[in-house]
Structure 1
Amino acid sequence: MTPVDQVHGLSPQVMYEQFWLKEVVHRRKMRGVKAAVGLVVGVALAYRFNLSAPILGLLCGLLVGAADAFWTWREYDATAVWRGRRRGETITGRLLRRRLRRAGYHILDGRAIPGKASIDHLVIGPGGVWVVDNEAWHPETEIARYGDRLFLGEKYGTKTAKALVEVSESLAEVLSRESGIPVTIEPLLAVHGGQLRRSVTAEGLTLLKPRLVARWIKDGPRADFDDAQVEVLARTAARVLRRMS
């Protein structure tokens, strides 16, 4: 059986994991080379500044090797949601609660708008209201804006953006009507995997890494609700939005 036959029919996620495992030996060899280079650099610096060559060389080698191991693990761990090993909404929800609750924000997870689509998170606080959804893409998928268009790899991201924008608009209408407080909702998409430096805003949607969502919300308020209004909006949302099982 040829290598092509062995991977034929497998999902991209399974193929990614198989190739990752096959490269373990190569990565270890390269890590050893990098550590050796770090050792040499450390010895050279020791002689240059009249320090202990063995200690500094060993320290530099260990630091380089550890840094390479950490960076490699971090790249692999970033694909966990895409590979189905972790749930994106769990990761993002934990980050939102940890960083926003003390600032007076309410986070409602897993809600469905009557007659409309479901949302992963609804954030309500002094600065406004946000819908936060989660999505995962292949680690090589470039997420970018060209002109006014959103691109997900080689494909347009219009369908993804439009769906979340429409959900946000529908929810804003419901909350405004039921609470009596005019509300505008900004849609955000937490991106797990893919190639995205920090954030991209296009076609009415902002895409960013999960660890940056809370900061985006706190740094960019869209309203100025007092505590009473925040409480009314949170209670209204909890009442009119069906909890997902």
Structure 2
Amino acid sequence: MAMIDRGGARGQPPEGEPGGKPDFRELIARPDVRRWILRVAFAAVIGMLFAIVFDPRIGLTAAVVAVIVDTVRRARAGDGGYRASPAERKTAKQLSGLTKKGWHILHARAIPRDDDGVSDGQIDHLVIGPTGVFAIDSESWDKRLPVRTLSHMRLFHGPFEKKDRLDEARWEANQASRLLSLAMGQEIPVQPSVAIYGPSVPWRVMTVRNVDVYSGGKARTYLRKRPKVLTDEEVAGIAAAAAKVFPSKFD
């Protein structure tokens, strides 16, 4: 089985792992951290508006209420009420035929935290097969805006840079790799990828910031055309571990 290159210097712990140098970019890429940043920013705006119109104390109260309401709303939405997006359903339908050929597809899987809780992060599709392990993020974008890349480092949808989507996809795959490696007792590489629906994607597969990007309609081809790196026994073992490690959002 292929081994992960953690990228750390010899004799030094890699970045982002215990004892290593904290990576602020990886922290910001965490979906739970990103949602709290947006939540706090939204509450601050609400608080300032109420403080200007009414009173600073009313503004503070409004900000606190905004945080509480948003937190409760998200908690209720995630409590057994998860629904797959149209893009996720398209990818799921496309990949369903692979199960008859020995592939294992886990949809909408939550990412556990080290404190035994569950983060806000989600792997849309965790795929285990002969060509490896993949974390696929299904995205639906406005078809009127073009998709382009710059030097394999920047991804754009029209005038909008999609660095946050690449960072999140890479974070999800890194977490999947870390947790599966712990469960299996050996390094399990997980390749991040983004399947785009809506606009035309002018390439088959483009690797941008270590994330594979392609048209959603080619997800199945993307998986099958890669070199085989896992035996049937390894695929079954990793799939069994993944089913235990990553809880389903549908439960």
Q: Shorter-chain TM-score: what band?
A: 0.5 to 0.7
Residue identity matched to 2:100 = R
User: Which stretch shifts more, 144-153 or 184-193?
Assistant: 144-153
Alpha-carbon distance between aligned partners in 1 of 2:217 and 2:200, rounded to the nearest angstrom: 15
Equivalence for 2:236: 231
Contact 1:123–1:129 (CA under 8 A) maintained in structure 2: yes
1:157 Cα shift? Answer: 1.6
Equivalence for 2:196: 191
1:104 Cα shift? Answer: 1.5
Contact 2:132–2:190 (CA under 8 A) maintained in structure 1: yes
Residue identity matched to 2:223 = I
Contact 1:95–1:210 (CA under 8 A) maintained in structure 2: no
Contact 1:132–1:188 (CA under 8 A) maintained in structure 2: yes
Residue identity matched to 2:87 = G
Runs (4+) off by over 6 Å: none
Equivalence for 1:130: 134
**Aligned partner of 2:217 among 206, 211, 214:** 211
1:131 Cα shift? Answer: 0.6
Contact 1:151–1:157 (CA under 8 A) maintained in structure 2: yes
1:243 Cα shift? Answer: 0.5
Equivalence for 2:35: none
Alpha-carbon distance between aligned partners in 2 of 1:181 and 1:192, rounded to the nearest angstrom: 35
Residue identity matched to 1:209 = S
Structure with more relative contact order (C-alpha pairs < 8 Å, separation 6 or more):
2
Alpha-carbon distance between aligned partners in 1 of 2:205 and 2:147, rounded to the nearest angstrom: 9
Unmatched segments (≥5 aa) in structure 2? 1-84, 114-118
Alpha-carbon distance between aligned partners in 2 of 1:195 and 1:91, rounded to the nearest angstrom: 16
The percent identity for this pair of structures is 28
- Structure number with bigger Rg: 1
TM-score, normalised by the number of residues in structure 2: 0.59
- Show CA shifts across 1:151-171 (max 9, x none): 121122211101110110111
Alpha-carbon distance between aligned partners in 2 of 1:179 and 1:165, rounded to the nearest angstrom: 21
1:191 Cα shift? Answer: 0.8
Summarize the Cα distance change of 1:225–1:181 in structure 2 as closer, same or farther, 3 Å threshold.
farther
TM-score, normalised by the number of residues in structure 1: 0.61
Matched, 1:118 2:114: no
Contact 1:131–1:185 (CA under 8 A) maintained in structure 2: yes
1:199 Cα shift? Answer: 3.5
**Aligned partner of 2:106 among 95, 108, 122:** 108
Alpha-carbon distance between aligned partners in 2 of 1:187 and 1:123, rounded to the nearest angstrom: 11
1:101 Cα shift? Answer: 2.0
Contact 2:200–2:215 (CA under 8 A) maintained in structure 1: no
Residue identity matched to 1:124 = I
Aligned length: 158
Residue identity matched to 1:108 = L
Residue identity matched to 1:121 = H
SS in 2 for 1:89: helix
Alignment of 1:143-154 (within 5 A): 143-147=147-151, 148-154=153-159
Alpha-carbon distance between aligned partners in 2 of 1:109 and 1:174, rounded to the nearest angstrom: 17
**Aligned partner of 2:178 among 173, 177, 190:** 173
Equivalence for 1:158: 163
Alpha-carbon distance between aligned partners in 2 of 1:165 and 1:177, rounded to the nearest angstrom: 18
Alignment of 1:61-72 (within 5 A): none
Alpha-carbon distance between aligned partners in 2 of 1:181 and 1:88, rounded to the nearest angstrom: 33
SS in 1 for 2:188: coil
